[in-house]
Amino acid sequence: MARKARSLHKEFCAKIAALNRTRLNFESAFRASIINEGDIGQAYAGLCVEVFASIENLIGTLFIGMLNGSIKHENGQVSILVTIRPVSMIENIILNSKTYMEWLPFSDNTLTRAKSYFSEGRPFTLLTEEQKGKIKNYTKIRNAIAHKSKKA
């Protein structure tokens, strides 16, 4: 039986809550002078990258899961345009001979793909401009952490 897409959101929120508890632990250790400024900077960078990876994982799991039938979206306007059989080939086709799928930047990667596989790109096109703006900001922060330079 297919899982509801909403369950992915609950799992994501639990992951973010766990990362926030870790952040609070690091901040307590910093205030108690157990770790130094460099340590907490590294902790923040690691937590940020983990949040970003969790966002990408959420998008990928939803996308692939809806195509292979393991995830069912509750919105009745969400429908698949393409059926891929056998389902074991879905990831190979989506990955298009790549070893890693980039889901972000959201507008460039995910929305373009979504419009090819889902009616009007839903549910990925249902995000508000504010939500898309937040994802864009997360992407900028992740890139600045990953590419340590004055320009980044």
Which residues of the chain register pLDDT less than 50? none
pLDDT of residue 142: 86
Question: For residue range 52-75, what is the model confidence (pLDDT) as tens digits?
Answer: 899 999 999 999 999 999 999 998
Burial zone of 132 (CB within 10 Å; 0-12 exposed, 13-18 middle, 19+ buried): middle
Overall pTM surpassing 0.95 (yes/no):
no
Asked if 12 contacts 81 with a C-beta cutoff of 8 angstroms, the reply is no
Distance CA 65, CA 5 (A): 9
| CA distance linking residue 24 with residue 55, whole number of Å | 21
Which residues is 134 bridged to in the sheet? none
